[in-house]
């Protein structure tokens, strides 16, 4: 199982603040059956260039990897990526492809919690059509209530994928909507979006158990979800 969205790299954003905390979260994910973790630290173009971010990310990853190797820990496989915050004109960023999840054309993009303009929607469509970068909208559950139904269908049809947080299934307030989206095939990836051990720990197992226990979701739907994840990661 893949955790597509996490803030586990130490001391790079508002996620893990130490190597020890990073390793503790990875151990939790391992126990929860997660085999691969995407390390998607926040990237804001207004704060730094892609080169600066990639250098900081590489340093943080090296520290984490050395600690894992030195202790000979059996932890999930790690993939470097980023959670890129959208800004108007992002499709013109020449280095955007360097922020995709390593080995893929998938870019985790955090969108504003507001009604998206026609300009914004066209940018998302053009990114895939013109650059080959496939957008995965981060925790789309935060944004869907602001959008028209036609907007979401248009994006889905254009190849834009979606990621939701495990908490979307865990919260009783949103669980019904999450399960409906999953059954309809509108969820491409699930991520814990874990930041720390205390307030935002990884809870992938709880979300998966809720999906497994839902009688309205046939086993083949979950099987297709897992297969589609692999196909997107390793086309």
> How confident is the model at residue 221, as a pLDDT?
87
**Mean pLDDT per 10-residue segment, the chain (235 residues):** 96 97 98 96 96 98 97 96 96 94 95 95 87 93 94 89 97 96 92 96 95 89 82 70
Q: What is the pTM of this model?
A: 0.95
Q: Any residues with CB less than 8 A from the CB of 1 and at least 6 apart, and which?
A: 33, 34, 35, 36, 204, 208, 226
> How confident is the model at residue 37, as a pLDDT?
97
> How confident is the model at residue 235, as a pLDDT?
59
Report the b/e string of 60-98 with b at 16+ CB within 10 A. bbebbeeebeeeeeebbebbbbbbbbbeeebbebeebee
> How confident is the model at residue 224, as a pLDDT?
86
DSSP 45-99: TTT--HHHHHHHHHHHHHHHHHHHHHHT----EEEEEEEEEP-TTGGG-TTGGGG
């Amino acid at each position: 199982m893949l955790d597509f969205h996490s803030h586990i790299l130490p001391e790079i954003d508002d996620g893990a603040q130490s190597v020890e905390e990073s390793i503790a979260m990875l151990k939790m994910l391992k126990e929860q059956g997660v085999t691969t973790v995407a390390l998607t630290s926040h990237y804001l173009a207004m704060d730094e260039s892609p080169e600066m971010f990639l250098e900081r990310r590489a340093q943080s990853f090296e520290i984490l990897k050395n600690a894992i190797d030195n202790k000979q820990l059996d932890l999930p496989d790690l993939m470097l990526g980023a959670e890129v915050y959208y800004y108007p004109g992002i499709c013109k960023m020449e280095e955007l492809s360097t922020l995709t999840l390593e080995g893929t054309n998938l870019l985790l993009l955090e969108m504003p919690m507001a009604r998206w303009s026609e300009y914004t929607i066209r940018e998302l469509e053009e990114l895939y059509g013109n650059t080959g970068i496939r957008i995965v909208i981060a925790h789309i559950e935060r944004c869907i209530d602001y959008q028209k139904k036609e907007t979401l269908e248009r994006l889905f049809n254009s190849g834009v994928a979606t990621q939701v947080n495990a908490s979307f299934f865990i919260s009783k307030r949103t669980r019904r909507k999450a399960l409906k989206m999953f059954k309809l095939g509108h969820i491409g990836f699930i991520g814990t979006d874990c930041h720390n051990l205390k307030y935002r720990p990884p809870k992938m197992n709880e979300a998966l158990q809720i999906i497994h226990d839902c009688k309205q979701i046939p086993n083949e739907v979950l099987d297709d979800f897992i297969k589609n994840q692999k196909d997107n990661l390793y086309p």
